[in-house]
């Protein structure tokens, strides 16, 4: 038996390593936390999670097998209302989700692996200890999809951490040619349907909307780990 001990330990280590690298069961994680699948409330809302692809700030698939957007029920209901308002404006338009509930373990990875300098990083990526509203299930990142055309042009891509993404600087950016008037018009349309449905904006990110103020969110909900 002595001669088989080390190979068995090695095999056990390999199995343990594989199990540790396996993608989490996100559906179970979100369901246990009381989240709802947005598309089960409104199937016309489009979902293409940026962190489930290489098209994000880290350049690789962070989520793994997650392809659905989850939110707290209150936030999801507000989003469904925003979708109805957008489609009433134009039936060929749809909300297009880049990210929704983001577990803190993913927030930690974004913080640790970002190449942004610390002073810049803290402007765009909430420190995991403090937590993002995304970590509570009360924030969503999104744009507008147009049937037959693709994403409505907002002047930058999702997670573009530059001044051009700041909604507080849009007029000055138009004046220097960094944004076109149509970019700002498209952003205003997105803001109109979202804020009229109960969401709050973030001055540095045109795509980000909170369903509740931070203080109230932290009082009422737990972080999704």
In the chain, the number of structural domains is 1
Provide the domain limits for residue 156: 26-220
pLDDT in tens, 91-111: 999 999 999 999 999 999 999
Instruction: Give the CA distances from residue 203 to residues 46, 147, 155, 168, 191, in Å, rounded to whole numbers and listed in that order.
Output: 24, 28, 15, 5, 11
Residue 16 binned pLDDT confidence (cut-offs 50, 70, 90): very low
* Nearest in space to 158 (alpha carbons), one of 198, 199, 202, 206: 206
Instruction: Please check whether residue 46 lies inside any domain of the structure.
Output: yes
pLDDT greater than 80 at residue 10: no
Instruction: Please check whether residue 15 lies inside any domain of the structure.
Output: no
More confident: 175 or 5: 175
CATH number at residue 196: 3.30.1380.10
Instruction: Please check whether residue 10 lies inside any domain of the structure.
Output: no
Residue 22 has a pLDDT of 61
H-assigned helices in 22-70: 26-32, 38-41
Residue 117 binned pLDDT confidence (cut-offs 50, 70, 90): confident
What does the mean pLDDT of the chain come to?
Answer: 90
Instruction: Please check whether residue 4 lies inside any domain of the structure.
Output: no
Q: With beta carbons less than 8 A apart as the criterion, state whether 186 and 145 touch.
A: no
Q: pLDDT > 90: what percent of the chain? A: 80
CB atoms within 10 A of CB 42: 18
Q: Side-chain half-sphere of 194: how many Cα atoms within 13 Å? A: 28
Instruction: Please check whether residue 21 lies inside any domain of the structure.
Output: no
Q: pLDDT > 70: what percent of the chain? A: 90
pLDDT in tens, 154-188: 999 999 999 999 999 999 999 999 999 999 999 99
* Nearest in space to 79 (alpha carbons), one of 119, 120, 47, 121: 47
Instruction: Please check whether residue 110 lies inside any domain of the structure.
Output: yes
* Predicted TM-score of the model (pTM): 0.87
More confident: 158 or 124: 158
């Amino acid at each position: 038996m002595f001669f088989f001990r080390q190979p068995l330990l090695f095999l056990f280590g390999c199995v343990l390593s594989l199990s540790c690298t396996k993608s989490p069961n996100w559906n179970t994680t979100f369901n246990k936390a009381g989240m709802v699948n947005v598309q089960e409330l409104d199937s016309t809302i489009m979902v293409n999670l940026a962190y489930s692809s290489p098209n994000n700030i880290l350049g690789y698939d962070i989520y793994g097998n997650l392809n659905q957007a989850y939110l707290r029920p209150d936030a999801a209901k507000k989003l469904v209302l925003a979708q109805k308002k957008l489609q009433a404006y134009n039936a060929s338009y749809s909300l297009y989700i880049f990210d929704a509930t983001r577990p803190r373990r993913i927030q930690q990875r974004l913080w640790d692996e970002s190449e942004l300098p610390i002073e810049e990083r803290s402007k765009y990526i909430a420190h995991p200890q403090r937590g993002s509203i995304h970590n509570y299930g009360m924030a969503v990142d999104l744009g507008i999809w147009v049937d037959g055309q693709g994403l409505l042009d907002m002047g930058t891509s999702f997670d573009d951490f530059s001044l051009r993404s700041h909604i507080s600087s849009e007029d000055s950016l138009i004046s220097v040619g960094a944004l076109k008037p149509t970019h700002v018009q498209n952003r205003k349309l997105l803001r109109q349907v979202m804020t009229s449905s109960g969401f709050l904006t973030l001055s540095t990110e045109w795509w980000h909307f909170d369903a509740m103020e931070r203080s109230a969110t932290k009082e009422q909900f737990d972080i999704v780990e």
